[in-house]
Amino acid sequence: MKAVVYDFSISKYVAAKSLGKQFPVFYYGKPSALSLSDVEEPNLPNEK
């Protein structure tokens, strides 16, 4: 399953906050903290 994953990193956060308005790639590009990744299917509480 694909999901948007937020990888918190202080350096990535500071770069996005300080440079994001001039360079939007820091919000959604390769240097951002957001990425689209494969993750495991979660186990639901009522799943049988």
Q: What is the pLDDT of residue 7?
A: 84
Please tell me whether the overall predicted TM-score, pTM, comes out greater than 0.75 for this model: no
Q: What is the pLDDT of residue 48?
A: 63
Q: What is the pLDDT of residue 46?
A: 85
User: Which tens digit of pLDDT belongs to each residue from 4-44?
Assistant: 988 888 988 888 888 888 988 888 777 888 888 899 998 88
Spans of all domains in the chain? 2-38
Q: Considering only CA atoms, which of 34, 41, 44 is closest in space to residue 1?
A: 41
Question: Residue 47: which pLDDT band, with cuts at 50, 70 and 90?
Answer: low
CA-to-CA dists, residue 15 to 9, 22, 41, angstroms: 10, 11, 32
